[in-house]
Amino acid sequence: ATSMATDLWGDIPYSQAFTAGDAISRLYTKYYSQEEIYKDILDKLVQASGKIGGITLNESRPHKVLGRQDILLHGDLDQWQRFGNSLRLRLAMRLSEVAPELAELHVWQILDDEAPLVENNDQNIMLESVAPDGTAADAFNLATMVSGSKTFAGEVMMNIMNAAQDPRIPVF
């Protein structure tokens, strides 16, 4: 999501984003360049791959619950490595026209290390949602099935709309 946000808007808040509650000075957070953001994401993917590659699951309690807590890949560390390496390759390719040296560095590291990648549809990474009736559904459709409505407004928004006698209230 961060790479898409910086692709769309250019410089964006990054490492200090969502930290305004930590200090008044953070109300005006620093904006980071796309270059800084991409470099950091790529570095973090390299670090994550190294850490995941160094893990051996055992019968300890934390390792046993990993599969239940990991809602995306159910504790499959090989799949996590494939995901991270494939994401890294994708981001490197996005950089190939604007930062060819950086892109080439990451692509060659992945190829030289013979890093595992998502190579077929069985290895696709996706979060599956299941509706109450057992059918697959995304979060939007799940909310629609539960409430019968496709649009929602939070309490604060509804209070403002009610006070203003907003004509859109029946939609929510």
pLDDT 10s digits, 144-165: 555 555 556 677 778 888 899 8
To 10 degrees, what angle do helices 2-9 and 77-95 make? 10
In sequence order, what are the beta bridge partners of 32?
Answer: 12
- Nearest to residue 94, comparing CAs of 83, 107, 82? 107
Q: Looking at the whole model, is its pTM more than 0.85? A: no
169: pLDDT confidence band, cut at 50, 70 and 90? confident
pLDDT 10s digits, 56-108: 778 787 777 887 788 788 888 899 999 999 999 999 999 888 899 999 999 99
In sequence order, what are the beta bridge partners of 136?
Answer: 130
In whole angstroms, give the CA distance from residue 37 to residue 43.
10
Pair of tokens at residue 98: 């604007």
In sequence order, what are the beta bridge partners of 31?
Answer: 13
Maximum separation of any 2 CA atoms in the chain, in Å: 64
